[in-house]
Every structure is written in structure tokens, then in C-alpha cells.
Structure 1
Amino acid sequence: MDYSEEQKGEIEALESIYYGDVKILEIEPRYKFTIPIKSEGYEEDTDVGMACDLTFTYTEKYPDEHPSIEIENPVNFLDTYKSELSEYLQSQAQDNLGMVMVFTLVSSAQEWLNVKWENVKKEREDCIAKKIMEEEEAERKRFEGTKVTVETFMKWKIAFEDEIGLTKKKEMIEREGKKLTGRELFMQDNTLNESDLKFLADGEAIKVDESLFQDLDDLDLDDDEDYDPTKDDSDDS
């Protein structure tokens, strides 16, 4: 086999197939050249698609020996992709020994990029879908609120009673052994009144239904100027 003629003939065929893309780097002592490849949908200067340059160098007895293959200028490659593609092309070259193989290797690398890019797109889509689901779940839980159990209710009840002073009132009742009136509780500890006022101040404003008082003018109420509320009605008898 005339290796030089085989190599020269393949270079001419590659320049015809990849017109304008084949870049000859060296001729002597052996041909060294680069062919760029890219995945489907590749967009330059974006994170869409993948690309790289394949640099081949013929050996003296190519194609009975596989050429040297270098992967250069990778675009959107993960850390492991370069070594994975290199191993894949080495195995393809081994399977094609005895035949000119650069076109086969370039086509195989092109297909490899397409498969990898589809996997990357799927991973990105899955990641986006997962994020959306997590956001929707968080929003659903926010509207559902915290489920009330006996334990959580009792904790809330104790804290609530402490806040409005009921706990202190109960302790007074237990100490006195009797039920104290509101006046008695107030006289013994006026801070209880302050607690109640604080509770009202911290809570929502008291709403009064004004409609309950709209018809007062219609009531038949007699104004008795001589009425004395301190005078017992029995005095009239």
C-alpha cells in the first residue's frame, strides 16, 4: 500500500466534503489538519448546543495505523466529556484499521455530540420541572398552614393564656380557694387589666355593626324627665 497516496487522496476527499471547514496545519512530515464539529441546534456564544475541533495527525502507516486524534476548543462540555469522546473515537479508529477513516470518525463524533446534547437538554428540563414542582408545593403548604394537633393546640393555648393574663387569674383562684370576681381580680393585680388592654391593642380592631343602631329612632321610647334611676319603683305604691 502506498500510504502517502492514500493519505493525500483522503485529504482531497475531506476538503470536498467539508468544504471551507478543513484547516490544514501541517503537510510535512505528515498531514495534520482540523475539522470543526457541532451538535444540532448549536448557537455560538450561548449555552445552547455543543461544539469542538477534531485535530488529526496521520502516522507513517495510516490507515493501517489509526491517526492521532486531539479534541480542542470544546464548547459547553462538562469536565468528563472530553475524555469520554476521546476514548470513544479511539475505539472507533481501532474498529476501522486498514481503511481511511477520518470521515467515519468525524461522523461518529458528530453523532456523539448530538446524543450528549439531548441528554443535557433533558437534564435541564428535568431540573426546571423539579424546581417548579418544589415552588408549587411550597406555595400549597403556605396556604394550607400548619396542621393543628392536640400537642400544638395545647402549646398555643398556654402561650395565649399567658399573654392575656388568664394563667395568673387561675393561679389566684387556686390560691384563694374560691372564684374571684373580675373586680376582685382587678383590685388584687391591676396588671391583669393591662394585659387585657394589650391583648386588645395587639389584636384586630373591634368591629361594631352599625346597622344594629340604625333603627333606634323608630323605637317608641318615652322620655321621662322626672325619672330617677335611684328611686325604687316600689316607692310609688
Structure 2
Amino acid sequence: MTDYHEEQNAELEALESIFCEELQFLSREPVAEFSITLKSEHYDEEDASKGAIVALRFSFTPTYPDEPPEMTVDNLDGLIVGEDEESSLMEYLEGQAQDNLGMVMIFTLASAALEWLNQRCDQKINHREEEEKRKEQEREEEEHRRFEGTRVTVETFMKWKLAFDEEILRSKKVKKEDTSSKKLTGRELFIQDKTMNESDLKFLEEGGEGVKVDESLFENLDELDLDDLEESEDA
């Protein structure tokens, strides 16, 4: 018959020698309850952006290690925070506990948690560095475009030409509207109205029969010196 209590005490002694500063007992009887604080590889208390820290709480059950210990995340801080991260860590540890049933497993679980912590931190740091590189590349490309100017392609030229043609049409339309709304002088009206050029002729053609000419007014035309008249007009 397995003496679970004796097996658990033996494991606790080993854990105290391994995690001298990281292990803290919350109670020993009737069951052992303790926490182990784990820090990622590059954790810095003064700069939380470089790593993460987690405190795991364990409680032995009466038949541990034939059943998993009770586990909770007391604290997860630094580069990795949030309920989603805590849930992900707990799910990972529960899987590890099931794989190690029948064997003392606290050291194994703590080592698995530390590995998970380091991997998560590396992912966060890599993502942050990639994002910084992307932003820096965008800044460089923007600076290059500002220096070089915009390259002309078929697409950009056609887009420009369409806008240019539309602007020309608008200008012509506005000019036409301004011209049509302008009040014309009598001379401009006369020039524009072609019918006025033929008004006298039409008058004579249509009403010429009713027009009487006094021929006596023209009896002395032969006596006029037309040459002198032309010279005076030329002068």
C-alpha cells in the first residue's frame, strides 16, 4: 500500500533544496500548500518589458501523486499579462500533470511552466522587434518617396489625366455660363443678330410696291461733280 504522506514529505524536502528562495509554504498540515515563483530568462524587476514572472500555487491531494495536485496561478506579471495567458498556462500544466500521474511531478510542472514562460516571452519580444522593424522600414520608405518623388505609372497617369480633363470641362462650362449671363451692348446684339443685316432688304422686297420715290429729287444728279465728291470723301 502506498504511503502518500511519506512520499509527499520526501518530495517537499527535495523541493526546498532546489527552490531555496522561490518556494514559500502557505501550510503543511493537514495537506501541504505552497507557491513557487518563477522568472523568465531575461526578467528584470526594473524593466518588466524584458521578461515575465509567475507565482504558481500547489496543493497536495490525499492521493497525490496518483492524482494531479491542485494548481492555480497566483500572479503573472511583466511582459505576459492577462486572463488569456493565465488560462493558456493552466491548460498546459494540466496536460503535463496528466502525463506524469503516479510520479512526483512538482519539479516537472515547475520546469514546464518556466519553459512556457520563456517561450511566451521570446514570442512577445520577437513580435515587438518585428513591429519596430516594420515601422522603421515604413519611415524609411516614406522618406525615400518624399526625396525621390512619386513614380509615374500608366495607372497614375490615367488617373491624373481623367482629373485634368474634368477640370478643363468645368472651366469651360463656367466660362460659358459667365459669357451667357453677361449683358450685351447694342452693337454686340446687332452683330450677333444676323437677321438685322437683311432687314432693310426684306423691308424693300416685302413692301417695296408701296414705297413711292420722288424722282424730282434726283433730276439734277447729272450736274453733280461726283469726282469732286469722291475726292472730298477721300480727304
TM-score bucket (shorter structure): 0.5 to 0.7
**CA 155–54 in structure 1, closer or farther in 2 if over 3 Å, else same:** closer
Q: Structure 1 residues 158 and 38 mapped into 2: Cα distance closer, same or farther (>3 Å)?
A: same
2 CA distance for matches of 1:9 and 1:151? 80
Structure 2 residue aligned with 1:65, among 64, 67, 78?
67
Where does 1:75-90 land on structure 2 (aligned, <5 Å)? 75=77, 76-79=79-82, 80-90=84-94
Q: Which residue of 2 aligns with 1:149?
A: 157
Question: How far 1:20 sits from its partner (Å)?
Answer: 2.4
Paired residues in the alignment total 169
In structure 2, do the counterparts of structure 1 residues 105 and 150 end up closer, same or farther at CA, with 3 Å as the change threshold?
closer
Q: CA deviation at 1:145?
A: 3.8
The one-letter code matched in structure 2 to 1:88 is: Y
Q: Name the residue aligned to 2:8.
A: 7
Measured after TM superposition, the shift of residue 81 of structure 1 is: 1.3
Structure 2 equivalent of residue 231 of structure 1: none
User: For residue 135 of structure 2, what is the amino acid of its counterpart?
Assistant: K
Matched residue SS, 1:24:
strand
Pick closer, same or farther for the CA change 1:94–1:157 going to 2, 3 Å: closer
Q: TM-score, normalised by structure 2?
A: 0.63
Structure 1 stretches lacking a partner, 5+ long: 173-237
CA contact (8 A) 2:68 2:101 kept: yes
**Could you tell me which residue of structure 2 aligns to residue 54 of structure 1?**
56
Would the alpha carbon gap of residues 30 and 111 (structure 1) be closer, same or farther in structure 2, given more than 3 Å must change? same
Q: 1:140: how far off?
A: 2.1
Aligned to 1:210: none
Q: Work out which of the two has the higher radius of gyration on C-alpha atoms and give 1 or 2.
A: 2
**Where does residue 120 of structure 1 map in the other structure?**
124
Structure 1 counterpart of 2:102: 98
1:142 deviates by 2.0
Deviations, residues 134-159 of structure 1 (Å, cap 9, x unaligned): 11122222221474736636856997
Q: Which has the higher helix share?
A: 2
Partner Cα separation in structure 1 for residue 20 and residue 80 of structure 2: 26
Q: Deviations over 1:70-123 (max 9, x none)?
A: 112101324321111101100111111111100000011111111111111110
Identity of aligned residues (%): 40
Residue type of the partner of 2:55?
Answer: D
Picking from 69, 73, 76, the partner of 1:74 is 76
Per-residue deviation, residues 184-234 of structure 1 (Å, max 9, x unmatched): xxxxxxxxxxxxxxxxxxxxxxxxxxxxxxxxxxxxxxxxxxxxxxxxxxx
The answer for the alignment partner of 2:133 in structure 1 is 129
C-alpha contact 2:22 2:38 (8 A) present in aligned 1:
no
Q: What is the distance in 1 between the residues matched to 2:124 and 2:58?
A: 27
Measured at CA, do residues 2 and 152 of structure 1 come closer, stay the same or move farther in structure 2, by a change above 3 Å? same
Letter in 2 for 1:51: I
Q: SS of the residue aligned with 1:149?
A: helix
Q: TM-score, normalised by structure 1?
A: 0.63
Amino acid corresponding to residue 139 of structure 1 in structure 2 = E
Q: Which runs of 5+ in 2 are unaligned?
A: 180-235
SS in 2 for 1:97: coil
Cα deviation for residue 36 of structure 1 reads 0.4
Structure 1 pair 156–104 and aligned structure 2 pair: CA distance change class (3 A): same
Does 2:15 correspond to 1:40? no
Cα distance in 2 between the residues matched to 1:125 and 1:68: 37
